[in-house]
Amino acid sequence: MNKIAVVGSGYVGLVAAACFAELGYSVVCVDNDLERVAALRRGEVPIHEQFLPELLDRHRNVRLQFSGSLAEAVKSCSVIFIAVGTPPKDNGEADLSYVESVAREIAQNINGYKVIIEKSTVPVYTSDWIRRVMLLTTDVQCDFDVVSNPEFLREGTAVTDFLYPDRIVVGADTRRAADLLRDIYSPLTTGKYYASVDKIPEPDDVNLPPRMIVTTAKSAELIKHASNAFLAMKISFINAVANICEEVGADIEQVSTGVGSDSRIGGRFLRAGIGYGGSCFPKDVAAFRAVAQECGYDFGLLDEVMKINENQRNRFMKKIRTALWTLKGKKLAVLGLAFKGRTDDIRESPAIALVEQLLAEGAIVTAYDPAAMKRSKEVFGDRVTFTEGVYQTAAGADALLILTDWDEFSSLDLKHIRQQLRYPIVLDGRNLYSPEEMEEHGLLYVSVGRRPSALKQLAKVS
C-alpha cells in the first residue's frame, strides 16, 4: 500500500492527512513550523473543524505521524501531496515561493519514482513549473510525475467535503500517475469506505460514490480557479439583485428561491449578505484575474465580482449609520466575527472589516463569536470588549449587529434580546430572520435585500 506524505498542515493539508489516514493509508504530515508539529504531536487541534478532532484521535501515532523533515518524508513516501500556502501578493497573483521551495527539496531527496500532487490552489502552469524546478534542481535522473488534484473543501465541513465529495478532479498527464491516483481514491470511488461501520457520518444530499474526473494537469488547475470564481460570482450576482430588491421593495429571499429553483442555476451560493470572505474566494478571484491578465485575456467580469463584494460591506455600513444616525460613542453589540458560521477563521472576514470601520468612526464595540474570539482578540486587543455570550453582548447596546451566519444566532430569544437592548434595533447582514418576526417582537430590523421592518421613518431621515 502506498505511503503518503502531505506537505503543509494548514486547513487543506491537515484535513487531507487525517482523511487519507481514515481511508487506511499510512500518512506523514510535514510542516516546517516545528512548534506546530510539536503541538500536533501533543494532540492539539489547531483549527476548528467538525470531525477533525475525532479523526486525529483515531489515527495519531497509528497511521498518522507528524514530522518536521521533508527530506525523510520524501525518502519514505512515493506519493507526495503539496498543500502549502499560496498567499496573495500585492498585485493579486498567488505567491508560489513555498510551493517552489517544497519542489526543490523534493528534488534534492528523490530516491525513486514519486508522484507529486498539488493540492494547494494554484494558477494554471504551476505543475509545469514544479516539473521544471525539479529538473533544474537535480542532476540525478529523476523519475516523477506532477499531478493537479484540487481540493474543494469548505471550512467547517472540510472533513465531510473530503470524504463525501461531489467529484474528485485528477489532472494527470501520464497514465501511470492517473492510475496511481485512481488507486489512492478507490476507497471513495468504489464505495468501500461508505460501507465501513465507523465511517464519518454521511451528510444530506450526497450522490455516492463520487465521480472521478481525470483531465490534463492544466485543465484541473483551471477547474479549481474557475469553480471558486463562479461561486463568488453567484454570490456577487445575488447581492447585486438584493440591492435592486431594496430599491423596488421586493424580497431577495423570495427572489433567490425563485431563481435558484431553476435546476440550471441551482439554489446554493445564492444567499445575499455582506459579501464573501475567507481564505479562498477573495484570494482566488484576484489570482484568477491575474492569471487571465497574464495570458492576455481581460476578464473584467471578475473585477465587477470583487467590486460588488466590497460595496456590499459599504452598503451595510451605510445602513448602520442610517439606523443610528451618529456612530461616535454608540455602543454596538456584534454577533459573529468569523467569515462564516462553523469556523474560527477570520481571514478576509467581512465582519472584521466592518468592526474596524465602526471603531474608526468612534463606536464602542462589544462582540461575541462562538469560535473566533481567540483570533479576533489578536486583531483587536482591548479595542473591542469580548463577552461570554449573545445576551451579555446585547446588554445596554444601542443596536445589535448580526455579521456571521452561526446556527445559534438564528434562534435567539428575541424577547430577551429586546429587553437587553437600549434601542430596539437589529441590523442583520446575514438575513437570519424574517422582518415580520422582528416586527412582532417590537424590533426595528434592517437586513439585506428586504424592506426594513418599522424603520421607514428612520430611513427617510438619512
d(C-alpha 309, C-alpha 307), whole Å: 5
CB contact set of 283 (below 8 Å; sequence gap of 6+): 86, 87, 88, 94, 121, 348
**What burial letters (b/e) apply to 324-358, b meaning 16+ CB within 10 Å?**
beebeebbbbbbbbbbbbbbbbbbbbbbbbbbebb
| DSSP letters for 2-58 | -EEEEE--SHHHHHHHHHHHHTT-EEEEE-S-HHHHHHHHHT---S--TTHHHHHHH
Active-site residue (options: 77, 245, 280, 295): 280
> 56-69: b or e for each residue (b if 16 or more CB lie within 10 Å)?
bebbbeebbbbbbb
Asked if 270 is part of the footprint of ligand UDX (rule: CB under 6 A), the reply reads yes
Complex with ligand UDX: residue 67 or 349, whichever CB lies closer: 349
Query: According to the binding rule CB under 6 A, does residue 406 interact with ligand UDX?
Result: no
Q: Which stretch binds ligand UDX (CB under 6 A): 91-99, 146-154, 163-171, 371-379?
A: 146-154
Among 131, 313, 340, 375, binds ligand UDX (CB under 6 A): 340
Nearer to ligand UDX, 269 or 299 (CB): 269
Segment interacting with ligand UDX (CB under 6 A) among 27-35, 81-89, 268-276, 299-307: 268-276
Report which residue type is found at 84: V
Closer CB to ligand UDX, 102 or 153, in the complex: 153
Residue 20 makes contact with ligand UDX by CB under 6 A? no
Pick the closest to residue 81 from 18, 35, 123, 165 (CA basis): 18
Q: How far is the CB of 52 from ligand UDX (least distance, A)?
A: 14
Q: Which residue is nearest to ligand UDX (CB)?
A: 280
Give the β-pairing of 385-386 and 211-215.
unpaired
Based on CB atoms, which residue is closest to ligand UDX, 63 or 313?
313
- Site mask, ligand UDX, residues 199-238, x = CB under 6 A? -----------------------------x--x---x---
Stretch that binds ligand UDX, among 13-21, 56-64, 77-85, 264-272 (CB under 6 A): 264-272
Q: Is the peptide bond before 350 cis (omega within 30 degrees of 0)?
A: no
280 is catalytic: yes
**Which residues within the stretch 149-178 sit at the binding site for ligand UDX (CB under 6 A)?**
151-155
Q: Establish if 339 lies at the interface with ligand UDX (CB under 6 A).
A: yes
418-453 in b/e form (b: 16+ CB < 10 A) is bebbeebbbbbbbbbbebeebeebebbbbbbbbbbb
Question: What's the min distance (Å) between Cβ of 224 and ligand UDX?
Answer: 8
- 271 touching ligand UDX, by CB under 6 A: yes
Q: How far is 5 from 20, CA to CA, in rounded Å?
A: 10
Which three cell numbers mark 199? 465511517
**Backbone torsions φ then ψ of 179, nearest 5 degrees:** -65, -40
Taking the complex as a whole, the smallest distance from the CB of residue 386 to ligand UDX amounts, in Å, to: 21
Minimum distance between the CB of residue 309 and ligand UDX, rounded to whole angstroms? 9
The partner residues of 94 in beta bridges, in order of sequence, read: 88
Q: Which of 269, 299, 380, 423 binds ligand UDX (CB under 6 A)?
A: 269
Asked whether position 281 contacts ligand UDX by CB under 6 A, the answer is yes
SS3 label, residue 148: strand
Which residue is associated with the grid cell 480557479? 225
Looking at beta carbons only, is 206 or 395 nearer to ligand UDX?
206
Q: Which residues are catalytic?
A: 280
- Binding residues (CB under 6 A) for ligand UDX: these are 151-155, 228, 231, 235, 269-271, 273, 276-278, 280-281, 339-340
